[in-house]
Amino acid sequence: MFRRLILSSAATRGVTRMSQQIRCVSETPARFGKEKPTEEAAAKEECNVHESTTGLSETESLHNEVKELSAQNKEMNDRLLRALADAENVRRISRIDVNNAREFAISKFAKALLDVSDNLKRAHESIDVETLQPDKQLDAIKVLHEGVVMTENQLQKVFREFKINQVGAVGDKFDPNVHDALFEYEDVSKEAGSIGQLMKAGYLLNDRVIRPAQVGVVKAPKAQNLKREWRFALFCAWLSLSADVMPPTTYFIDEVLN
């Protein structure tokens, strides 16, 4: 009987040990199954964080690259616009230079001919046609005079054909751009600031001055002279109204006139 109890106790311990082993084996897959998804989730989360960080870094890099390319594009566009503007300015200046060279190429030649025109004018103005009487000798002078006048008229016609125009005439308003004032003088019969005398005619070539007109300019009378005339007029009026009054003294007359 004692032997049975020993066997029964040993069997009981064996069954207990086996049940523990079976429970351990049955719990191990469950534990491993629970731990495996946790590791995968951690790895996946780490991967997601890395991808997110990498994506942000790439986006920022692309954004900086876009900004840099935009700045370069703007700079190149500005350079292109400046280059086009410079090219247009060069073309415009070239056209102006070509036009000026074409229009004013004869300026020196035209200026040299002006003295010829002046001498012809002096020649025909030096003879008074009204004094020429029917006489053989005077007829020769008259023919010469007419030839000089015709030559001058023909020369002026050529001038006008090539746009060489005369400026400066008595009575014109003085213009310092086309007139050269040699002197000023008072003339109450003419407007102040106008040309009173023409010493030498001026000429324009295509509206550009090649020789200014040499003139004498009328200036306004001095204010002192006007004041003196006004005082004298008042003095005469006073004398006519005060015949019975004592004649004024010399001192009074000097004060009025001066």
User: Tokens for 201?
Assistant: 């005619």
Say whether pLDDT at 139 is over 90.
no
In angstroms, how far apart are the furthest CA atoms of the chain? 200
Answer positive or negative: Cα dihedral of 138, 140, 142, 145.
negative
> How far, in Å, CA of 257 to CA of 231, rounded?
6
Q: What would the pLDDT profile of 194-208 be if each residue is shown by its tens digit? A: 999 999 999 998 888
At residue 251, the pLDDT reads: 42
Q: Note whether residue 138 is domain-resident.
A: yes
User: Tokens for 167?
Assistant: 């400026």
Say whether pLDDT at 20 is over 60.
no
Domain of residue 183, CATH code: 2.30.22.10
> How far, in Å, CA of 33 to CA of 155, rounded?
122
For range 139-152, the mean pLDDT:
80
What's the mean pLDDT when you consider all of the chain? 73
Of 70-74, 110-114, 188-192, which gets the smallest average pLDDT?
Answer: 110-114
Inter-residue contact 217 to 206 (CB < 8 Å): no
- Structural domains of the chain, count: 4
At residue 217, the pLDDT reads: 94
Say whether pLDDT at 138 is over 70.
no
Q: What would the pLDDT profile of 155-173 be if each residue is shown by its tens digit? A: 888 888 888 899 989 999 9
Same domain, yes or no, for 110 and 135?
yes
pLDDT top residue among 40 and 213: 213
Residue with tokens 């001058």: 152
> How far, in Å, CA of 220 to CA of 227, rounded?
13
Burial class for 180, CB neighbours closer than 10 Å (0-12, 13-18, 19+): middle
Classify 13 as helix, strand or coil: helix
Residue with tokens 């920022």: 60
Number of Cβ within 10 Å of residue 209's Cβ equals 15
Q: Note whether residue 27 is domain-resident.
A: no
Against a cut of 0.75, is the pTM above it? no
Q: What would the pLDDT profile of 44-103 be if each residue is shown by its tens digit? A: 566 565 555 665 677 888 888 888 888 888 889 888 999 989 888 988 888 887 777 777
Domain stop point among 118, 136, 162: 162
Instruction: Give how far the C-alpha of residue 150 lies from the chain's centroid of Cα atoms, to the nearest Å.
Output: 48
Inter-residue contact 180 to 215 (CB < 8 Å): yes
Domain stop point among 61, 76, 103: 103
Q: Note whether residue 132 is domain-resident.
A: yes
> Closest Cα partner for 211 from 140, 138, 114?
114
- Structural domain containing residue 116: 105-162
